[in-house]
Amino acid sequence: MIMPPVKRVFRFDVWYHPVMAQTFADTPGFELHTIARDAPHQHILQALRSSHAYQIPSARDELPHRWRADAELLDQLPQLLCVSTNGAGYDTVNVEHCTRAGVLVLNQTGANAQSVAEATLGLMLDCLRRISESDRCLRRSRGFAREDLMGSELYDKVLGLVGIGQIGGRVAKIAKAFGMHVIAYDPGLEPVAISAKGAEPVELAELLATSDVVSLHCPRLAETLNLMNASKFAQMRQGAIFINTARGGLHDEQALYDALKGRHLGGAGIDVWDEEPPPLDHPLLTLENVVGLYHTAGVTREARQRMGLWASQQIIDVLSGREGLRMVNPEVFPRFLERLEAADHSTQ
């Protein structure tokens, strides 16, 4: 009896939920190889060259640039069939280069959507009610009045969502439970689709001018880099709150600092940074009205378990010839199947 060829999956030693390793261990015909990021270059390259799937970290600062999935690396990996990101984002993957190489790209969009949505509302509450600011003040000084830390309610405020995909849609639902009015700008969706997600569709200029809170929920793409710059911050309402739990690079950090320092904006909740973690002397971290997180909005026990399970199951599906549920470049799937079949024949 001819046994089906073993499919080898490569990943670096970033933290993964144990469910991923267990899923591969429980599935005949699959091997998971975990390699240290500080292993010798040739050792890593040799392991990658023998792999059919590359489970790649989504966070840019978790991965040396030379191991990002781009043309330079893919040219050295003729056997690689698919790249699977740890989360919804794929900042460490050049999708165009993968498509040209016939490499299928998978992500885990939706796995951490609830976690990020909850963190987004947490940052809104923190900024408007000045929770972290009150905590810091209480720990280091006395002689202040409670009114010095007076905040505002979420109730009856206008929330503007820039992007209303899986995360933005969940934020809209939770925000409406707080009694907020939700508007949204998303050029990738028809107005009727935005309305179905519980938000009033508007153009970006109107959103910035009328929102008490502006929250970003869009991907990091060429057209969204520095989407929120000095001009856009100037268009926001006096005293408005800015939230970014999406991706670093979507807002100009210096421009945001200037808008906060000049008291045009009332506060900001930032989970994502140009450099992660940001340096200790980062200007934004010197401001009392900034609440900063270390890209942890989506880092919960529940989200990480879903990520590990979804990623392993999807890799098993596609390397078994079945369509993945979250294919980033589905147009390459027919060519991927041809390469998969050729790889199976070559190992028999």
Q: pLDDT tens for residues 50-99?
A: 999 999 998 777 888 999 999 999 999 999 999 999 888 888 999 999 99
Average pLDDT, the chain: 95
- In three-state secondary structure terms, 49 is helix
Domains and CATH numbers, the chain: 7-110+301-346 (3.40.50.720), 113-292 (3.40.50.720)
CA distances from 326 to 62, 88, 114, 152, 315 (A): 22, 9, 17, 40, 10
Cis amide linkage into residue 78, ω under 30° from 0: no
H or E element, residue 8: strand 7-12
Q: Do the Cβ atoms of 77 and 44 come closer than 8 Å?
A: no
Question: How confident is the model over 236-272, as pLDDT tens digits?
Answer: 999 999 999 999 999 999 999 999 999 999 999 999 9
- In three-state secondary structure terms, 272 is coil
Q: Do the Cβ atoms of 23 and 313 come closer than 8 Å?
A: yes
The structure tokens listed for 44 are: 């890593």
Rounded average pLDDT over 166-184: 97
Residues identified as active-site? 247, 276, 295
The answer, yes or no, to whether residue 1 has pLDDT greater than 70, is no
The structure tokens listed for 92 are: 């460490």
C-alpha torsion angle, residues 194, 200, 201, 206 (rounded to 10): -150
H or E element, residue 55: strand 53-56
The answer, yes or no, to whether residue 2 has pLDDT greater than 60, is no
The answer, yes or no, to whether residue 47 has pLDDT greater than 50, is yes
Q: Do the Cβ atoms of 29 and 4 come closer than 8 Å?
A: yes
The answer, yes or no, to whether residue 207 has pLDDT greater than 60, is yes
Q: Angle, nearest 10°, between helix axes 301-318 and 113-129?
A: 150
Question: How confident is the model over 17-35, as pLDDT tens digits?
Answer: 999 999 999 999 999 999 9
CA distances from 154 to 118, 180, 201, 213, 233 (A): 14, 6, 20, 9, 21
Q: Do the Cβ atoms of 308 and 302 come closer than 8 Å?
A: no
* Class of residue 112 by CB neighbours under 10 A (exposed 0-12, middle 13-18, buried 19+): buried
**Single-letter residue type at 139:** R
Task: Tell me how many degrees the CA angle 22-25-26 measures, rounded to the nearest 5.
Answer: 85
Tell me the pTM: 0.91
- CA dist 67 and 70 (Å) reads 8
